[in-house]
């Protein structure tokens, strides 16, 4: 069974069909790329999958459980975390605190527990801190833990956002244009990082404009254009697909 | 001196404790008994400001109707412990009920406003504050619940068995007045509220509040149930407000809708903004300053009478004038408040640091 199943999802904004009958399935342990020209509906699909938008038609299933039209915090709880295209960190909190917020779903101290701060709460708090530090280390930000997230360099903010998403212990991590605005050497580093992430057991779903990067790291790729899926398959096959070439370069007139 | 104490936290703690214990006697001897009452009010406002700070400072929800919860706590105390209904329940039963009722109303107010933010939330909460006050003003008919604008009086004082705090008591030949006794009671409550607020801030719930304040969408994408966490902030803040209201009713022995106007909400908000939003020592400083300074301004009227023979500027007007000026100056020069947390100072002055670097590099080029 596929880890994530998008089943004939449609999304209408008024009269505009942003997504039309889109189906795809992501398998456990792969890096799945989602590409397409600007305005093709990639981010809309992300938002439909992670609960930010409701879907107008179809279903999204994670390990067979329907997660569409559920609030975002429930989707995360089922093991589906995401990052945002325009970085959305908690800018005025430290890097470490950002990641600690991500541990929210994995902890349960109540108001009473927080006020009394018994042995269990203290242990939980220590575990949150430790795991957050591990994740900062994992993304190479172990020395920036005390810096305010808003003060980090752009590439560092991208990595911090990934660390924060990883803190929710996701099975599937969706990254929305994670290398946008990076220079070629930073992109290479990120590509290696994605492979390392996959090897650590997280399945990746990647929206990306950088076709070279997608072709380099993705196991499978789907192409969206005007809200429709026009191709799906291995990167080199998709690259040769006439419909894809037409979508990117313009078709015959 | 400060460094000396910072290196010896235990000594500093003992010094603060001794100072706080001796304060009403020092103030009473130096400035007169009426100033001990001012201290009592300062402590009540500290409690209110700490409560509102949870909603505004921690969770970033601008609440302009906070005084409604104060009013609910006060009226509930009056209903359950005054001749009005002939009920005279002890304070330890009434105060928690009042706090709980206020907390429930906090959720009731919070629920319909969950989708609102910033200005819109402020307007709705402002309306809620006014609704409660107007209810209290008009609920003297058909059934007389609140005695209308005349207010309710003869409210029972706080009493431990036969030991009522409203009377002057003798300890070892020392006469200790009611204002002094309430001071210690309020101080104890302030310490409890402070403790709860500090613990909550530094917990997963405090982090969830901060996350919502920073970016609600990202917070929900991190698995935070924004609805529940916001309602929790409203409920916690309202609970402290209700508690302070009950104490206020018992202390004054009289309450009327007049005490719970919009200005009161704005004052409490100002205490937070002036002191340092989200930072407990700052909030306490703001509350104490804004309670004590207006009282000190009363002397300005006496001076005018002594020097000019009449009062040229009404101290109450002067108060509002100075107040407005102080707020404008604060926003211009110290938007983080008088005593902000280190973090907040950094975030509001990050631009200055950058500017400094830039101007430094300009000089480098010239040099």
Q: How many CA atoms lie within 13 A of A240 on its CB side?
A: 4
Inter-chain contact B222–A164, Cβ cutoff 8 Å? yes
B281 versus B351: which is more confidently predicted? B281
pLDDT, tens only, A94-132:
999 999 999 988 888 888 888 888 888 899 999 999 999
Choose among A60, A64, A37, A62: nearest CA to A49: A60
pLDDT at B174 over 80: no
Higher local confidence (pLDDT), B305 or A223: A223
| Chain B CB within 8 Å of residue A168 CB | yes
pLDDT at B319: 79
* Gap from A112 CA to chain B (nearest CA, Å): 9
Residue B105 banded pLDDT, cuts 50, 70, 90: very high
Domain total in chain A? 2
Q: Are B224 and B217 in contact (CB under 8 A)?
A: no
Nearest to B246 by CA among B37, B82, B110: B82
Among B203, B212, B227, which would you mutate to test the A interface (most chain A Cβ atoms within 10 Å of its Cβ)? B203
Contact B237, B106 (CB under 8 A): yes
> In this structure, are strands A65-66 and A57-62 parallel, antiparallel, or unpaired?
antiparallel
pLDDT greater at residue B351 or residue B95: B95
Rounded to whole angstroms, how far apart are CA atoms A75 and A60? Answer: 11
Q: What residues have CB less than 8 Å from B47, skipping those under 6 apart?
A: B186, B189, B190, B193, B240, B243, B244, B247
pLDDT at B363: 45
Same domain, yes or no: A128 and A73: no
Q: What is the mean pLDDT of residues A37-50?
A: 90
Write down the pLDDT at residue B361: 44
Q: Which residue has the higher pLDDT, B24 or A98?
A: A98
**pLDDT at residue B358 is higher than 50:** no
Q: Which among B195, B205, B223 has the least Cβ separation from residue A111?
A: B205
Q: Phi and psi at residue A121, in whole multiples of 5°?
A: -65, -40
- Alpha carbon of A235 to those of A30, A117, A224, A232, B239: distances in Å? 13, 52, 14, 9, 59
Whether residue A253 is predicted with pLDDT greater than 70 in this model: the reply is no
Give the burial class of B355: count Cβ atoms within 10 A of its Cβ; 0-12 exposed, 13-18 middle, 19 or more buried.
Answer: exposed
Hey, are the CB atoms on B208 and A73 less than 8 Å from each other?
Answer: no
More confident of the two residues A4 and B118: A4
pLDDT for B367 beyond 70:
no
Residues of B in contact with A121 (CB under 8 A): 203
Beta bridge partners of B150: none
DSSP B222-272: TT--HHHHHHHHHHHHHHHHHHHHHHHHHHHSEE-GGGGSHHHHHHHHHHH
pLDDT tens sequence across B182-217: 999 999 999 999 999 999 999 999 999 999 999 999
What's the mean pLDDT in B4-15?
Answer: 84
Same domain, A117 and A186: no
Q: Does B153 touch chain A (CB under 8 A)?
A: no
Please tell me the predicted confidence (pLDDT) of residue A126: 93
Asked if B343 and A94 come within 8 Å (Cβ–Cβ), the reply is yes
Domain residue limits at A135? 90-154
**Residue A162: inside a domain, yes or no?**
no
Q: Answer yes or no: do A113 and A74 share one domain.
A: no
The verdict on A242 and A211 lying in the same domain is yes
Q: Which one of A78, A92, A135 would you mutate to disrupt binding with B, by most B Cβ within 10 Å of its Cβ?
A: A92
* Residue B278 predicted with pLDDT over 50: yes
The yes-or-no verdict on residue B62 having pLDDT over 80 is: yes
* Nearest CA distance, A166 vs chain B (angstrom): 10
Domain check: are A57 and A126 in the same one? Answer: no
- Looking at residue B27, its pLDDT comes to 87
pLDDT at B96: 95
Tokens 């003869």 identify what position?
B154
Domain boundary among A130, A154, A178: A154
Identify the CATH number of the domain defined by range B32-333. Answer: 1.10.3470
Q: Do A109 and B204 touch (CB under 8 A)?
A: yes
Q: Do A73 and B199 touch (CB under 8 A)?
A: no
- CB atoms B347 and A150 under 8 Å: yes
Per the domain annotation, does A85 fall within a domain?
Answer: no
Residue B99 CA to residue B47 CA, distance in Å, equals: 12
- Clarify whether residues A127 and A245 are in a common domain: no
CATH of the domain at A26: 3.40.50.300
Range(s) within chain B of domains with CATH label 1.10.3470 = 32-333
| Degrees, nearest 5: CA angle B285-B286-B287 | 95
Candidate from B222, B232, B347 with C-beta closest to A104: B222
Which of B54, B218, B277 is the best substitution to test chain A (most A C-beta atoms within 10 A)?
Answer: B218
The ipTM is: 0.91
pTM: 0.89
Mean pLDDT in residue range A211-219: 87
- Alpha carbon dihedral B108, B112, B116, B119, in 10-degree steps, equals -60
Residue with the larger pLDDT of the pair B316 and B101: B101
Please indicate, yes or no, if residue A225 is contained in any of the structural domains.
yes
Inter-chain residue contact B224 with A90, CB threshold 8 Å: no
By residue count, chain A amounts to: 253
A160 within a domain of the structure (yes/no): no
Biggest CA–CA distance in chain A, Å, is 72
Considering the domain architecture, whether residues A185 and A74 belong to the same structural domain is answered as: yes
Residues on chain B touching A71 (C-beta within 8 angstroms)? 220, 225
Q: Which of B100, B78, B106 is nearest to B254 (CA)?
A: B78
- Band (B75; pLDDT cuts 50, 70, 90): very high
B185 in contact with A at a CB cutoff of 8 Å?
Answer: no
| Contact with chain A for residue B223, Cβ under 8 A | yes
**C-alpha distance from residue A42 to each of A22, A35, A240 (Å):** 11, 7, 21
Exposure string (b/e) for A110-147, b if CB count within 10 Å is 16 or more? eeebbbeeeeebeebbeebbebbeebbebbebeebbeb
Tracing tokens 């412990």 back to the chain, one arrives at B81
CB-CB contact of A20 with A56 (8 Å) = no
Strands of A160-239 (E only): list them: 172-176, 203-207, 220-225, 228-233
Question: Among B205, B210, B221, whose Cβ lies nearest the Cβ of A76?
Answer: B221
pLDDT value of position B4: 79
pLDDT at residue B218 in the model:
94
Same-domain status, A150 and A210: no
Residue pair A57/A9 in contact by the 8 Å Cβ criterion? yes
Same domain, A62 and A106: no
CA distance B74 to B77: 5
Would residue A163 count as lying in a domain? no
| A73 vs B: CB within 8 A | yes
CA distance B224 to B222: 6
Number of helical H runs and strand E runs in chain A: 10, 10
Judged against a pLDDT cut of 60, whether residue B88 lies above it is answered with yes
Lowest-pLDDT choice from A40-44, B210-214, B326-330: B326-330
Token pair for residue A19?
Answer: 């997504």
CB–CB contact B208 A101 (8 Å): yes
Rounded CA separation B228/A71 (Å)? 12
Decide: A146 and A98 in contact? Cβ < 8 Å.
no
Predicted pLDDT of residue B353 = 52
Q: Specify the pLDDT at position B287.
A: 94
What is the Cβ-side half-sphere exposure of residue B199, based on CA atoms within 13 angstroms? Answer: 19
Share of chain A above pLDDT 70, in %: 98
Contact list, B343 vs chain A (CB under 8 Å): 92-94, 148
Would you say residue A161 lies in a domain?
no
Q: Which residues of A touch B208 (CB under 8 A)?
A: 101, 104
Q: What local confidence, expressed as pLDDT, does residue B239 receive?
A: 96
CB B32, CB B24: distance < 8 Å: no
Please report the sign of the dihedral spanned by the C-alpha atoms of residue A158, residue A164, residue A169, residue A174. Answer: negative
CA-to-CA distance for B200 and B128, rounded, in angstroms?
26
Q: Measured between CA atoms, how close is B203 to chain A, in angstroms?
A: 6
């Amino acid at each position: 069974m596929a880890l994530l199943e998008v089943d004939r999802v449609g999304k209408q904004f008024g009269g505009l069909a942003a997504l039309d009958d889109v189906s795809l399935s992501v398998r456990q342990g792969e890096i799945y790329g989602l590409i397409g020209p600007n305005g093709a509906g990639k981010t809309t699909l992300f938002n439909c999958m992670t609960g930010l938008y409701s879907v107008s038609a179809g279903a999204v299933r994670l390990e067979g459980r329907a997660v569409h039209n559920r609030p975002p915090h429930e989707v995360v709880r089922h093991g589906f975390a995401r990052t945002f295209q325009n970085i959305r960190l908690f800018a005025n909190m430290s890097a470490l605190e950002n990641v600690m917020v991500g541990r929210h779903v994995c902890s349960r101290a109540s108001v009473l527990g927080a006020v009394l701060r018994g042995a269990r709460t203290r242990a939980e708090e220590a575990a949150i801190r430790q795991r957050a530090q591990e994740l900062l280390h994992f993304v190479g930000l172990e020395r920036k833990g005390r810096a305010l997230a808003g003060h980090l360099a752009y590439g560092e903010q991208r990595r911090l956002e990934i660390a924060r998403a990883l803190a929710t212990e996701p099975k599937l991590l969706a990254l929305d244009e994670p290398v946008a605005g990076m220079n070629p050497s930073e992109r290479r580093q990120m590509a290696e990082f994605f492979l390392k992430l996959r090897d650590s057991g997280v399945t990746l779903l990647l929206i990306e404009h950088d076709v070279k990067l997608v072709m380099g790291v993705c196991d499978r790729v789907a192409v969206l254009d005007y809200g429709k899926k026009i191709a799906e398959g291995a990167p080199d096959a998709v690259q040769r697909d006439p419909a894809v070439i037409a979508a990117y370069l313009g078709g015959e007139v | 001196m400060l460094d000396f104490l910072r290196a010896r936290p235990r000594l500093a703690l003992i010094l603060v404790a001794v100072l706080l214990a001796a304060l009403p006697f020092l103030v009473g001897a130096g400035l007169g008994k009426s100033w001990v009452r001012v201290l009592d009010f300062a402590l009540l406002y500290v409690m209110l400001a700490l409560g509102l700070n949870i909603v505004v400072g921690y969770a970033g929800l601008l609440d302009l109707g906070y005084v409604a919860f104060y009013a609910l706590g006060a009226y509930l105390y009056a209903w359950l412990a005054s001749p009005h209904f002939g009920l005279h329940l002890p304070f330890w039963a009434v105060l928690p009920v009042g706090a709980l009722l206020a907390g429930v109303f906090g959720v009731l107010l919070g629920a319909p406003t969950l989708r609102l933010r910033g200005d819109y939330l402020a307007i709705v909460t402002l309306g809620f504050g006014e609704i409660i006050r107007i209810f209290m003003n008009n609920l003297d008919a058909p059934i007389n619940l609140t005695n209308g604008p005349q207010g309710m009086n003869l409210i029972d004082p706080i009493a431990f068995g036969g030991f009522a705090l409203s009377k002057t008591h003798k300890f070892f030949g020392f006469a200790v007045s009611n204002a002094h006794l309430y001071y210690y009671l309020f101080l104890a409550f302030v310490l409890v509220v402070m403790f709860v607020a500090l613990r909550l801030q530094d917990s997963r719930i405090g982090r969830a509040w901060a996350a919502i304040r920073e970016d609600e969408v990202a917070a929900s994408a991190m698995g935070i149930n924004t609805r529940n966490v916001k309602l929790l902030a409203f409920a916690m803040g309202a609970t402290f407000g209700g508690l302070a209201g009950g104490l206020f009713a018992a202390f004054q022995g009289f309450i009327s809708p007049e005490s719970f106007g919009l200005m009161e909400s704005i004052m409490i908000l100002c205490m937070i903004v002036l002191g340092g939003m989200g930072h407990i020592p700052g909030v306490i400083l703001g509350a104490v300053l804004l309670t004590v300074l207006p009282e000190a301004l009363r002397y300005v009227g006496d001076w005018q009478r002594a020097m000019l023979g009449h009062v040229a500027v009404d101290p109450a007007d002067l108060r509002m004038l100075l107040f407005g000026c102080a707020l404008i100056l604060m926003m211009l020069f110290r938007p983080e408040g008088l005593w902000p947390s280190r973090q907040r100072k950094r975030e509001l002055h990050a631009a200055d640091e950058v500017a400094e670097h830039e101007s430094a590099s300009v000089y480098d080029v010239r040099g």
